[in-house]
């Protein structure tokens, strides 16, 4: 008895059926970043219907081999990010693990079109470390590639992450400051709204805490106020859409020039806090006798300016994320401690 071999459906037949080029069908398997999510799904569905299983294994061996190349996606543009000491420390931690093992590291900013511009490079990347909140488009594309993903300072459902307990850290530093009995408290928030505007929370909708570490910090600040019997109303909670010197300085200056200015500024980053201190100095407001200021992160400049802040172990987070990605540590939702660093910008106020 003889058996007739089943004829293999060809890539060209699928392309003809969909009225697209053969290269487009090939891209659905080999270079998914070149197609929209919708087009790729249409192609893959037709392949399933027609019984086309994709390129032969032999032609995929080069594409799927171990390349020792890792990408680190950073939520801001690279020039800005590399000026941020938290990013630099995390990057140093990642490199401390990868360098001795001969890994290459590719830095990718999380703008809406950066992954599209990789132009096939993603095929040679074994996995991604995602630092901070990527754009929605980038996140969809990243998951679409079906690569290993470890996140830092963000949670993505179904993926391992490295964070601090932002709520607890914010609660502790706010509690310490509120124990000194300030009368007027203002929160200078960072990216707590999807609206990229510098306005207070009465004018903007806030991102849910489940989606943002910054809103988790906000909830920690407010919970500390509630514990101390202090209500921090939305008119005194400000959204700064970027962690930039200009926006932080101008927002702080505006707030401090109000008829009833704050005597405590709870800031969601050290950069915001340091610029608020400069604004206070320019307005002749003494710190800490007339204004207390707290930060978040403990960047190098914070110690030099004696800023009371939260110590964020960015270097250690980078080490942990890199170890998870290359299998040197079990993947998990890892939480680091972030203790308060009490310095001279948070001391007992003079009587008013």
Whether the per-residue pLDDT at 340 is higher than 60: the answer is yes
**Displacement of CA 163 from its chain's centroid (Å):** 10
In this predicted model, what pLDDT tens digit does every residue of 310-322 receive, in sequence order?
999 999 999 999 9
Whether the per-residue pLDDT at 113 is higher than 70: the answer is no
Q: Which helix (H) or strand (E) holds 43?
A: helix 37-50
**C-alpha to C-alpha distance for 128 and 340, rounded to whole angstroms:** 31
- Residue 95 in tokens: 């490199």
Contacts of 248 (CB under 8 A, 6+ apart): 188, 240, 271, 272, 274, 275, 276
Tokens 């290459």, residue located: 104
The confidence score (pLDDT) of residue 119 equals 55
Q: Which of the pair, 82 or 86, is modelled with greater confidence?
A: 86
**C-alpha to C-alpha distance for 313 and 294, rounded to whole angstroms:** 17
Report the candidate in 182, 227, 189 with the shortest Cα–Cα distance to residue 205. 189
pLDDT confidence bin for 55, thresholds 50/70/90: low
Contact of 21 with 15, CB cutoff 8 Å: yes
**C-alpha to C-alpha distance for 336 and 232, rounded to whole angstroms:** 28
Sign of CA dihedral 108, 114, 116, 117: negative
**C-alpha to C-alpha distance for 107 and 26, rounded to whole angstroms:** 27
In this predicted model, what pLDDT tens digit does every residue of 319-335 receive, in sequence order?
999 999 998 898 899 99
Q: What percent of the chain has pLDDT over 90?
A: 56
The confidence score (pLDDT) of residue 171 equals 97
The confidence score (pLDDT) of residue 1 equals 38
Task: Report helix, strand or coil for 97.
Answer: helix
**C-alpha to C-alpha distance for 115 and 93, rounded to whole angstroms:** 24
In this predicted model, what pLDDT tens digit does every residue of 25-35 receive, in sequence order?
887 877 776 77
Task: Report helix, strand or coil for 185.
Answer: strand
Window from 39-53, 111-125, 230-244 with minimum mean pLDDT: 111-125
**C-alpha to C-alpha distance for 277 and 279, rounded to whole angstroms:** 5
The confidence score (pLDDT) of residue 21 equals 86
Report the candidate in 27, 72, 76, 35 with the shortest Cα–Cα distance to residue 54. 27
**C-alpha to C-alpha distance for 205 and 218, rounded to whole angstroms:** 13
pLDDT confidence bin for 11, thresholds 50/70/90: confident
**Displacement of CA 323 from its chain's centroid (Å):** 19
Contact of 182 with 264, CB cutoff 8 Å: yes
For the chain, which domains are there?
11-63 (1.10.260.40), 65-163 (3.40.50.2300), 164-313+336-341 (3.40.50.2300)
**C-alpha to C-alpha distance for 238 and 267, rounded to whole angstroms:** 10
- Mean pLDDT for 194-214 is 91
Report the candidate in 196, 113, 178 with the shortest Cα–Cα distance to residue 187. 178
The confidence score (pLDDT) of residue 252 equals 97
In this predicted model, what pLDDT tens digit does every residue of 236-252 receive, in sequence order?
999 999 888 999 999 99
Beta strand ranges found along 251-314 (DSSP E): 264-267, 292-294, 309-310
Mean per-residue pLDDT over the chain, rounded: 86
pLDDT confidence bin for 132, thresholds 50/70/90: confident
């Amino acid at each position: 008895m003889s058996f007739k071999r089943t004829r293999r459906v060809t890539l060209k037949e699928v392309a003809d059926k969909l009225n697209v080029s053969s290269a487009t069908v090939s891209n659905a398997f080999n270079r998914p970043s070149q197609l929209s999510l919708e087009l790729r799904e249409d192609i893959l569905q037709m392949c399933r219907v027609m019984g086309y299983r994709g390129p032969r294994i032999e032609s995929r061996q080069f594409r799927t081999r171990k390349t020792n190349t890792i990408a680190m996606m950073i939520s801001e543009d690279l020039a800005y990010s590399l000026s941020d000491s938290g990013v630099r420390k995390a990057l140093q931690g990642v490199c401390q693990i990868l360098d001795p093992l001969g890994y290459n590291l590719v830095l990718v900013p999380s703008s809406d079109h950066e992954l599209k511009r990789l132009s096939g490079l993603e095929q040679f990347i074994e996995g991604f470390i995602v630092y901070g909140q990527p754009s929605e488009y980038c996140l969809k594309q990243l998951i679409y590639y079906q690569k290993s993903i470890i996140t830092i300072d963000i949670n993505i459902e179904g993926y391992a992450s490295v964070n601090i307990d932002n709520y607890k850290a914010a609660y502790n530093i706010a509690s310490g400051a509120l124990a000194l009995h300030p009368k007027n408290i203002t929160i200078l928030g960072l990216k707590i709204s999807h609206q990229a505007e510098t306005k207070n929370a009465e004018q903007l909708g806030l991102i849910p805490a489940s989606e943002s570490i910054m809103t988790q910090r906000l909830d920690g600040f407010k919970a500390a106020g509630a514990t101390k019997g202090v209500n921090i109303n939305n008119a005194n909670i400000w959204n700064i859409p970027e962690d930039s010197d200009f926006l932080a300085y101008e927002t702080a200056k505006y707030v401090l020039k109000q008829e009833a200015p704050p005597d405590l500024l709870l800031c969601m980053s050290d950069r915001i806090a340091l610029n608020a201190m400069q604004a206070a100095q320019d307005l002749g407001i003494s710190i800490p006798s007339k204004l207390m200021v707290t930060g978040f992160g403990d960047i190098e400049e914070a110690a030099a300016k004696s800023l009371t802040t939260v110590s964020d172990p960015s270097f250690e987070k980078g080490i942990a994320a890199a170890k998870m990605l290359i299998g040197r540590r079990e993947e998990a939702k890892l939480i680091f401690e972030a203790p308060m660093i009490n310095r001279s910008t948070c001391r007992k106020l003079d009587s008013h």
